[in-house]
Amino acid sequence: MNLFYGRRRYIDMVPNALALVIDRLTVGYSGLPEPVLREVSLTLPPGVRAALVGPNGSGKSTLLKAVAGLLPPRAGTILIYGRPVGACHHRVAYLPQRGDVDWRFPVTVERMVLAGRYVHLGWLRRPGDDDRERVQTVLVKLGLEDLAGRQISQLSGGQQQRALLARALVQEADLLLLDEPLSAVDVASRRIIDEVLRELRDQGKSILMATHHLERIDEEFELAFALDDGALRQVARTLPALEGV
């Protein structure tokens, strides 16, 4: 028997549902009367990599946090595979900007990645051999196998970002929310991350990534959303239209 985290139960996705449907979402931070996002709507089909672009302060991180369930909406709805936020914790992985982790904490890369299994284990159950095997496979895929025993602060920025992505893979999430994973990342890490994201797309997973790197946007993404001052200004498939954002 599993005692899962959170008040809601472990629910299956609605068959054939879209990965993400956001309808007239308004979000703000407590203490600030003005919302950061105003009536933003977007839909994301499964098997698509989508870029979320826009200047600093346009609300990219806020949008990702709302979908991750970290910020309650003031108005509007978010459906993830047809279910409300929180109904399917295990399906959503969120990679915050590096600052949210205490990197000096005494935990190894392997153990940090293993935490991706916790959502499937719930209270009182310990990770087993099967969980550890999955971790090993993912560490190899992300080129971290030689660093598995290192304390997490002994990694470069790119390696730390790969470790966070490894945790999301181990979680077997279907919707990945990535907040600027490519800033302060070396070329090798960037190539590995690109490759993994392409593979995830091929497996039918969906990716929503806040990014500033627009130079290869048409190769790396199938969709792009542009946020400007809290509003979704345009949804572009024809990517050259994004120049100048």
Partner 1 sequence: MMEWLLEPFRFSFMQTGLAAAILVGVTCATLGAYVVLRRMAFIGDALAHTVLPGLVVAYLGGWSLFGGALAAGLLTALGIGWVSRRGAVREDTAIGVLFTAMFALGILLMSRVRSFRDLSHILFGNVLGVRTTDLAQMAAIAAGVLLTLFLLHKELELTSYDPTYAEVIGLSADRMRMLLLVLLAFTVVACIQIVGVILTSAMLVTPAAAAALLTNRLPRMMGLAAFIAIGSSLIGLYASYYADVASGAAIVLTCTAFFGVAWLIHSLRTRGAAG
Residues that bind partner 1 (CB under 8 A): 4-8, 30, 68-70, 86, 89-90, 92-94, 96, 100-102, 105-108, 111-112, 115, 118-119, 121, 123-124, 126-127, 151, 167, 171
When the beta carbons of 115 and 184 are compared against partner 1, the nearer one is: 115
In the complex, the smallest distance separating the C-beta of residue 162 from partner 1, rounded to whole angstroms, is 16
When the beta carbons of 35 and 96 are compared against partner 1, the nearer one is: 96
In the complex, the smallest distance separating the C-beta of residue 114 from partner 1, rounded to whole angstroms, is 9
In the complex, the smallest distance separating the C-beta of residue 15 from partner 1, rounded to whole angstroms, is 23
Question: Distance of CA 204 to CAs 44, 45, 95, 245, Å?
Answer: 12, 9, 19, 29
When the beta carbons of 32 and 124 are compared against partner 1, the nearer one is: 124
Helix pair angle (157-171, 129-141), 10° resolution: 140
Residue by residue, DSSP assigns 48-117 as -EEEEE--TTSSHHHHHHHHHTSS--SEEEEEETTEETTTTGGGEEEE--GGGS-TTSS-BHHHHHHGGG
When the beta carbons of 2 and 234 are compared against partner 1, the nearer one is: 2
In the complex, the smallest distance separating the C-beta of residue 211 from partner 1, rounded to whole angstroms, is 19
In the complex, the smallest distance separating the C-beta of residue 56 from partner 1, rounded to whole angstroms, is 20
CA-based nearest residue to 34, from 80, 74, 94, 90:
74
When the beta carbons of 37 and 64 are compared against partner 1, the nearer one is: 64
